[in-house]
Amino acid sequence: MQLPREIVIGNHTLDAIPEICLKLGFRDLAFIVTGPNTYEIAAKSVIDSLEDAGFKTDYTIVKNSTIESVNETISKIMSFKPSIILGIGGGKDIDVAKSSSANLNIPFISVPTTASHDGISSPFASIKGLEKPYSIKAQAPIAIIADLEIISNSPYRFIASGCGDIIAKYTAVRDWKLAHMIKNEYYGDYAANLALMSAKLILKNAQLISRRSEEGVRTIVEALISCGVAMSIAGSTRPCSGSEHLFTHALDLTTPNHALHGEKCGVGTIMCAYLHNANWKLIRKVLRKVQAPTTAKELGVEAEDIVKALSIAHRIRPERYTILGESGITYEAAERLAKATYVI
């Protein structure tokens, strides 16, 4: 199990980064992976404070999380030879930092500026351009430093997307349990409950979140971190990714560049909860309350894109048994499901 050693959540937490690096035993060269906007919002000041504290720094600005970005970052890191790598930014920046640092066996610190998905804390990275359209093993962050003020000021859509990725655990855990019963797959109660608890927290605090209160944002950040820890404990993405994520990845393939990861997961959860005979109406209600998409239209895709993605989802990752079964659901059944849950 690889778990973070330091988790700091609060306001102005970026100021604490040099101190945390020193506490963890890093004191010379620090490399920062960031994005064009997040450089201005957060990375620039972190670089200054690290330099003030005696660190030598270098940084790269990445625009996407493709394998090319990862390889470019790896060669920059190799020539700088840092002892610590910081991923400062949104999901993409953190994925590139996580993946490149794992490749070089250098610890990395996750500094999220948005709370849009659980990649901010998980040991898995989602890299585009690889054979597999889902997250692959990288490494868990040695520390997570989340500044609530910065995250609160990010577009609300990211926060709503984070809710969708957390609510997804409602069906992911059911799928995991099912795979345990049908396929005798390893099932860990502790990891499963940790993921489920995060989903329950969102159900309970939807009102606070929709008001964008500090407490609401804190709930999301903590829940996302718990999800990452659940994956670290399980040693796989199982507690956090089931049929609803297969649907999301299928939609990524058939209709790329539409909607955020967590937005698609939320819609997938409504439909997969229906298949599980679980309370899909509650999931839909909560997603609507936090103003996350619940329909094809709100995701910006066509009705047939949803039906197609549903009917091919089981092929995305054949070894991951879910409620979709080994042969999936037919096009007609998928259409009926999407209609019954008001997605189309």
**165 vs 263, which CB is nearer to Zn ion?**
165
d(CA 40, CA 50): 16
Looking at residue 119, what DSSP letter applies?
G
Distances (CA, A) of 285 to 3, 146, 294: 34, 28, 9
Q: Could you tell me which stretch among 30-38, 165-173, 218-226, 307-315 binds Zn ion (CB under 5 A)? A: 165-173
**165 vs 335, which CB is nearer to Zn ion?**
165
244 φ, ψ to 5°? -65, -35
**135 vs 205, which CB is nearer to Zn ion?**
135
Looking at residue 144, what DSSP letter applies?
E
**20 vs 159, which CB is nearer to Zn ion?**
159
Q: Could you tell me which stretch among 89-97, 159-167, 190-198, 322-330 binds Zn ion (CB under 5 A)? A: 159-167
d(CA 244, CA 72): 32
**95 vs 335, which CB is nearer to Zn ion?**
95
**69 vs 121, which CB is nearer to Zn ion?**
121
Distances (CA, A) of 286 to 167, 199, 233: 9, 11, 28
Q: Could you tell me which stretch among 23-31, 162-170, 200-208, 306-314 binds Zn ion (CB under 5 A)? A: 162-170
Closest distance of CB 62 from Zn ion, Å: 20
Q: Could you tell me which stretch among 9-17, 39-47, 161-169, 303-311 binds Zn ion (CB under 5 A)? A: 161-169
Q: Could you tell me which stretch among 26-34, 44-52, 163-171, 316-324 binds Zn ion (CB under 5 A)? A: 163-171
d(CA 285, CA 295): 12
**CB 226, CB 197: distance < 8 Å:** yes
Closest distance of CB 335 from Zn ion, Å: 25
Closest distance of CB 197 from Zn ion, Å: 17
**30 vs 259, which CB is nearer to Zn ion?**
259
For Zn ion, which residue has the nearest CB? 165
Encode 209-240 in three state secondary structure. HHCCCHHHHHHHHHHHHHHHHHHHHHCCCHHH
Residue given tokens 């910081």 in the structure block: 86
**What is the pattern of x (binds Zn ion, CB under 5 A) and - over residues 185-214?**
------------------------------
**62 vs 166, which CB is nearer to Zn ion?**
166
Closest distance of CB 294 from Zn ion, Å: 17
Closest distance of CB 267 from Zn ion, Å: 13
CB atoms within 10 A of CB 319: 7
HSE (side-chain half, CA atoms, 13 Å) at 300: 9
Looking at residue 120, what DSSP letter applies?
G
Closest distance of CB 253 from Zn ion, Å: 16
Closest distance of CB 45 from Zn ion, Å: 29
The reply on whether position 165 binds Zn ion by CB under 5 A is yes
Closest distance of CB 247 from Zn ion, Å: 11
Instruction: State the virtual CA torsion across 228, 232, 236, 237 in degrees, nearest 10.
Output: 0
**64 vs 153, which CB is nearer to Zn ion?**
64
Closest distance of CB 248 from Zn ion, Å: 7
Q: Identity (one letter) of the amino acid at 162? A: G
d(CA 196, CA 224): 11
**C-alpha angle 199-291-91 in degrees, rounded to nearest 5:** 65
For Zn ion, the binding residues (CB under 5 A) are 165
